[in-house]
Each structure stands twice: as C-alpha cells, then as structure tokens.
Amino acid sequence: MHRSSSVGCAQVTESGDDNGLLDRAIDWVALLRSGRATVGDADELQRWRALSPAHEAAFRQAARLYRDLGTMGAELERRKVRPFVTRRAVTRRALIGGAMAASVAGYMVVKPPLELWPSLAEMSADYRTAKGEQLDVALADNVSLKLNTQTSVAVRGSGINPRIELISGEAAISARRSVSEPLVVIAADGQIASSAGEVNIRCIDGVVLAVCIQGSIIVSHGGRSIELTSGQQIAYSASEPLGKPVPVADSETLSAWREKLLIFKDKPLATVVSEINRYRPGKIVVTNSDLGQRLVNGTFHTDQLDDFVAQVRQLYAVKVRALPGGVVLLS
C-alpha cells in the first residue's frame, strides 16, 4: 500500500511500512531543522501526524533520534537511505551534520519564529498540551502530574520509578514515594527531587522556577543542591546559578492556573502579554516600549481571552494592527 504525501510542498511516494514512515518523518525533522519552515509547513505536518497512530509514532521516533545526538547520526548512516531533497534543499545529511554540530553545545531546542508552533523538542514529548489546554497524567499510583498550557513532558522509565523531563511549560507534580529513590524531574540543566510532596515547576525559555507546595524538595543545579520546604521557591537558568530559597510572595497567583485563571497585580503590560500568549491562539506583540511598561491589575479566565486585545485597546487607547497568522501588533 502506498500513499501520496508531501514535505515542504514536494510530493513523495510514501510506503505504508514502518521504515517508510520513519523515512518521511526524518524528512519532516530535516525541514524543521532547516530554519525555513513556515506556518503552512507546520499545519501540514500536523495533518500528516494525524493520519494514523503509526504516523505519529514515526514522527516521535525521528524527533527523538535528533534529541539523542549521540546515536542519531549512526542510526541514519546505518539506514543509508537516499537523501530526500525538498525545494529548500534540506537533506538527511544536513540533519545529521546539524545534529552533530549541536552536540558541541549540548542540549538544543529549535525555536520557530514568534513561537507560532511548537519546537522540535516539544513535538517529541510523551505528553504535550496545546495553547489553553490542561492535562492530568497519572504516571504511577504514587506519581501524578497536572500540565498547564503549552507544556511538554518526556518520561524515561516506567512503573514505580519514572524519570520526568519538563522540556518546556509548567507542571504541578505530586509524589508519594514508598521506595527509597526520590522522584527526579529534569528541567533545563538542573533537577528537582522529591520523595513525598508537591512541587510546581515552570520552565520557560530556559529559566526555571521551582516552588515547594507541600513537603520538601531538593533542587540541584551547577554543582549545588538546596533543600526547599513548603512555601519556598527558587530559580535558576544557564546564566543564573542557584540563589537562596525565598518565601512564595503570592500563593493565590501561583496556583491560579489550576483553576484556569490568570491573576496579575501591578505587572507591566509586556509581561502580561507574554503570559497571555501562552494561552491565546496567535501572537500579540507590544511594539511600543512605553506601552509595555504600563501596569496591569486584573483577573482573566484562560478560556475567555478572545476579548483581551479589545480590553487593552479600550483601557490604554492603543493602536491595533492584525497580521496574517494570528499576529496582532499593539502600539
């Protein structure tokens, strides 16, 4: 059985076997890696992935091959498949070369323009939520996750001892361990361990904020480990080492997302828009720096954000310009 498919608007013949699907999935990864993918390409990829569970599984496998930089090149070379060339001259050899170059810098995430579609790493996640979506996941009898909007999680291992990677987004994670080993959550280049407790972890653009809600957790980053108890939080990133635990300033605001609410208290409009963009389709861009510093106080329902732009226009008398792809400019 053969089906007609396309990658980057170039028609190909697609075999129905697993190897044929993986070949096509690798073509998709190569296109995403090229940096020239468009919104149309991203939409087409979503349709291809939805054709069958086998298509989705093939894409996840190809994306994970890319993420597993140490073995991907060898795997693709072993296949010795004929390089497929799109109109943008993207080949598997380019994918291999790009991945090997990326290994010099370590873990790498390819970010699409204006974040109009998920990154390659996010697409390869075991669990992923779309904009405005939440998801409850029970990994084991004693481990549960609640994923917020635009959150991607990969799971390593199974049974009573899973290992979780928060690729991007925000998650509330509860662990009630009856075994000696704690639950370990990887976020950016650090990790959070908990044997019995609840933690809220946010990882956006490589900046991690870990909040201990109940019990205690141990946060490790840059060769240091710090224990947090209930009501404390700590942040880190590639450029910022672990500091000292600080009390949670506003627990209501922190946990509001679980009730599908966003609460802002004296927050700059630019910060508010950045958070709203994680829930609302498209992308809002504040083009005026002075406007971006205007303070906002308010509570918004995450499933009722269609009127946000109109509210800002009325409140601040801003100019609004709508562009293709759901992009809105505020000035």
DSSP 37-98: --HHHHHHHHHHHTT-HHHHHHHHHHHHHHHSHHHHHHHHHHHTPPPP--TT---HHHHHHH
Mean of pLDDT values over 186-194: 92
Of the two residues 177 and 192, the one the predictor is more confident about is 192
Mean of pLDDT values over 82-96: 40
| pLDDT band of 94, cuts 50, 70, 90 | very low
Mean of pLDDT values over 134-151: 89
Task: Report the mean per-residue pLDDT for the chain.
Answer: 77
Distance separating alpha carbons of residues 295 and 324, to the nearest angstrom: 28
B/e letters for 43-82, b = 16+ CB within 10 Å, e = fewer, are: ebbeebbeeeeebeebbbbbbbbbbebeebbeebeeeeee
> What does the DSSP 8-state code read for residue 110?
P
**pLDDT one-digit tens code per residue, 35-69:** 677 777 777 887 888 888 888 888 877 776 666 54
**pLDDT one-digit tens code per residue, 199-224:** 999 999 889 999 999 999 999 999 99
CA nearest neighbour of 275 among 133, 121, 169: 169
Of the two residues 166 and 20, the one the predictor is more confident about is 166
Interaxial angle between packed helices 53-67 and 69-79, expressed in degrees from 0 to 180 and rounded to the nearest 10: 120
Helix (H, G, I), strand (E, B) or coil at 326: helix
Per-residue pLDDT at 119: 61
Distance separating alpha carbons of residues 288 and 318, to the nearest angstrom: 10
Of the two residues 83 and 286, the one the predictor is more confident about is 286
Single-letter amino acid code for the residue at 174: S
Domain coordinates of the chain in residue numbers?
2-123, 127-251, 260-330
Second CATH level (architecture) for the domain 260-330: 3-Layer(bab) Sandwich (3.55)
In the predicted structure, residue 135 carries a pLDDT above the cut 90: yes
In the predicted structure, residue 264 carries a pLDDT above the cut 80: yes
Per-residue pLDDT at 15: 43
Whether domain 127-251 has CATH 2.60.120.1440: yes
pTM over 0.75: no
